[in-house]
Amino acid sequence: MDKLKTIAHLESADLTVTGRLVDASNATLYASADSNGSVISCIYKPIAGERPLWDFQSGNLAHREYASYLLSDCLGLDLIPPTILREGPYGIGMVQAWIEMDEDVDLMTFFQKDDSRLRKLALFDAIINNTDRKIGHLLPTKDGHLYACDHGVTFHEEDKLRTVLWQWAGFQFLENEIEILRQALVAMNDSKFMKLLTSNEIEATKKRIMALIRDQVFPQPSEDWPAVPWPPF
């Protein structure tokens, strides 16, 4: 996937909603992005369709999805499909390129593996404080790449990591993982995040990254809240 071309396409295309993912808790619409006859399938999550949450500010889940994409992109991780914020048929929202999964991959087995792609995602989730990493968010492709989706409940001020990827809890970071953390600390100073997150959330993220660098190990599940999202899929 040519990321820059895909982003440009999503930004300029005519967006047409063609379906809805009914299992999603917020309005998650399947759409086609048509640019001069060239069509890309995508997911469109309008802010107007976001369900209020008690622990997250209303109307900004799309911004957190976009912030997650931008950070993954800044770090060169390529974990999240090309994602933008734009106007659509139901107002401004997140638009993300659709990923065709490898249907031969059994996610119920895959998510438990000691796989470097999953480990990279687990590190990223610790950075962004992902409160809802489920099995169904994993998008392995036929060419061996791993994408992940659904990053609306991230970057909370309080530590709220909930994930199904705990197989490296307490493991020592590799040197390249320490370098990713150092790069993330610098990246969070970029002004573009100030437009998407609160100053408190940005400072909390930086403190979290500094703690990970200091401890040099993957975080352990908390004893103060459920460590795995429910349902896990």
Give the pLDDT band (50/70/90) at residue 117: very high
Q: How do strand 146-148 and strand 91-97 relate by DSSP bridges?
A: unpaired
Strands (E), 2-113: 14-20, 29-35, 38-46, 83-88, 91-97
How far from 173 is each of 1, 166, 179, CA to CA, in Å? 29, 14, 10
211-223 pLDDT tens trace: 999 999 999 998 8
pLDDT at 24 over 90: no
- The domain ranges of the chain are 3-215
Distance in angstroms (rounded) separating the CA atoms of residues 169 and 172: 9
CA angle 113, 231, 143 (to 5 degrees): 40
163-187 pLDDT tens trace: 999 999 999 999 999 999 999 999 9
